[in-house]
Amino acid sequence: MMTSIPTPLAQLKPGTRGRVARITRDLTGRAERLAALGVTPGASITVLQTFPGIVFECDQTELAVERAVARSIFVLAE
Amino acid sequence: MPCAMSPGDAIGARTPSLLRLRAHPLKIALVGNPNVGKSVVFGRLTGRYATVSNYPGTTVAITSGRALVGAEVCDVIDTPGVNALEGVLSEDERITKQLLVTGGAELVIQVADARNLRRALMLTSQIADTGLPMILVLNMSDEAHARGITIDIASLSDHLGIPVIEAVAPDGRGVAELREALPSARRARAADHARMSHADWADAGAKSFRKMSVVSRGRFQEWIGRAVRKPLTGLPILALVLYLTYLFVGVFGAQTLVGALEEGLFNGIINPAAIAAAARIPFPLIRDFLVGQYGVITMGLTYAIAIVLPVVTTFFLVFGFLEDSGYIPRLAIFSDRLFRSMGLNGKAVLPMILGLGCDTMATMTTRILGTPKERLIAITLLALGVPCSAQLATIMGILGGISVWALLLLFGVVLSQMVLVGFLAARALPGDRSDFILELPPIRLPRLRNLLTKTLIRVRWYLGEAVPLFLIGTALLFALDRVGALEQLTRVARPVVTGALGLPGESAEVFVMGFLRRDYGAAGLFRMAHDGSLSGVQSVVALTVMTLFVPCVANLLMIIKERGVRVGLAILAAVTVIALGTGSALNFALSILHVAF
**Most B-contacting residue of A9, A25, A59 (CB-CB within 10 A), to test interface:** A59
Can you say whether the dihedral through the CA atoms of B226, B231, B232, B236 is positive or negative?
A: positive
What is the biggest distance separating any 2 CA atoms in chain A, rounded to whole angstroms?
35
Residue B26 three-state SS: strand
The answer to whether B374 faces chain A, any CB pair under 8 Å, is no
DSSP structural state of residue B452: H
What is the biggest distance separating any 2 CA atoms in chain B, rounded to whole angstroms?
87
Q: What is the C-alpha to C-alpha distance for residues B259 and B267, in angstroms, rounded to an integer?
A: 10
Q: What is the C-alpha to C-alpha distance for residues B544 and B522, in angstroms, rounded to an integer?
A: 10
Question: What is the Cα Rg of chain B in Å?
Answer: 27
For residue B88, give the nearest of A33, A60, A61 by CB distance.
A33
Q: Length of chain A in residues, anyone?
A: 78
Q: Interior CA angle at B322 toward B316 and B327, to 5°?
A: 155
CA distance B115 to chain A (A): 6
**Which among A14, A29, A7 is positioned nearest to A73, based on CA atoms?**
A7
Which residues fall within 8 angstroms of residue B101, CB to CB, at 6 or more apart? B130
HSE-CB for B348 with a 13 A CA cutoff: 30
CA distance B440 to chain A (A): 5
Q: Interior CA angle at B433 toward B362 and B322, to 5°?
A: 35
Contact criterion met (CB < 8 Å) for B116 and A64: no
Contact criterion met (CB < 8 Å) for A66 and B345: yes
Q: What is the C-alpha to C-alpha distance for residues B156 and B153, in angstroms, rounded to an integer?
A: 5
DSSP structural state of residue A40: -
B543: phi then psi, degrees, rounded to nearest 5: -70, -35
Question: C-alpha distances in angstroms, B269 versus B110, B263, B273, B275, B305?
Answer: 55, 9, 6, 10, 14
Residue pair B254/B400 in contact by the 8 Å Cβ criterion: yes
For residue B438, give the nearest of A30, A48, A64 by CB distance.
A64
DSSP structural state of residue B435: P
Count Cβ atoms within 10 A of the Cβ of residue B293 and give its class: 0-12 exposed, 13-18 middle, 19 or more buried. exposed
pLDDT in tens, chain B (597 residues): 344 444 434 444 444 555 455 678 899 999 999 999 999 999 999 999 999 998 888 889 999 999 988 778 899 999 999 999 998 888 899 999 999 999 889 999 999 999 999 999 999 999 999 999 999 999 999 999 988 999 999 999 999 999 999 999 999 999 999 999 999 999 999 999 999 999 999 999 999 999 988 766 557 888 899 999 999 999 999 999 999 998 998 889 888 998 899 888 988 999 899 989 988 888 888 888 888 877 788 877 887 888 788 988 999 999 999 999 999 999 999 999 999 999 999 999 999 999 998 898 899 999 999 899 999 999 999 999 999 888 888 788 788 778 888 999 999 999 999 999 999 999 999 999 999 999 999 999 999 999 999 999 999 988 887 677 777 777 877 888 888 887 887 788 888 888 889 998 778 778 877 776 777 777 778 778 878 888 889 999 999 999 998 888 888 889 999 999 999 999 999 999 999 999 999 999 999 998 888
For residue A55, give the nearest of B88, B229, B337 by CB distance.
B229
Q: What is the DSSP string of B522-583?
A: HHHHHHHHHTTSS-HHHHHHHHHHHHHS--BHHHHHHHHHHH-HHHHHHHHHHHHHHHHHHH
Does the pTM of the predicted model rise above 0.90? Answer: no
Q: What is the C-alpha to C-alpha distance for residues B82 and B90, in angstroms, rounded to an integer?
A: 9
Question: C-alpha distances in angstroms, B312 versus B315, B429, B522, B549?
Answer: 5, 35, 14, 20
B residues 321..340 contacting A (CB < 8 A): 329-330, 332-334, 336-337, 340
The answer to whether B229 faces chain A, any CB pair under 8 Å, is yes
Closest chain A CA to residue B433: A28
Question: C-alpha distances in angstroms, B397 versus B265, B278, B524?
Answer: 17, 29, 12
Domains in chain A with CATH codes:
7-77 (2.30.30.90)
The answer to whether B113 faces chain A, any CB pair under 8 Å, is yes
Whether the bond into A52 is cis, omega within 30 of 0? yes
Residue pair A48/A61 in contact by the 8 Å Cβ criterion: no
* Confidence (pLDDT) at B17: 52
Q: What is the C-alpha to C-alpha distance for residues B301 and A40, in angstroms, rounded to an integer?
A: 58
Contact criterion met (CB < 8 Å) for B199 and A29: no
Q: What is the C-alpha to C-alpha distance for residues B111 and B109, in angstroms, rounded to an integer?
A: 6
Count Cβ atoms within 10 A of the Cβ of residue B341 and give its class: 0-12 exposed, 13-18 middle, 19 or more buried. exposed
Which residues fall within 8 angstroms of residue A21, CB to CB, at 6 or more apart? A6, A41, A74, A75, A76
Question: C-alpha distances in angstroms, B70 versus B2, B31, B132, B179?
Answer: 6, 22, 21, 8
Q: What is the DSSP string of B164-204?
A: EEE-BGGGTBTHHHHHHHGGG-B----HHHHTS-HHHHHHH
B467: phi then psi, degrees, rounded to nearest 5: -65, -50
Q: What is the DSSP string of B475-535?
A: HHHHHHHHTTHHHHHHHHHHIIIIIIS---TTHHHHHHHHHHBHHHHHHHHHHHHHTTSS-
Paired residues of B76 in beta bridges: B28, B65
Contact criterion met (CB < 8 Å) for A38 and B87: no
The answer to whether B368 faces chain A, any CB pair under 8 Å, is no
CA distance A16 to chain B (A): 16
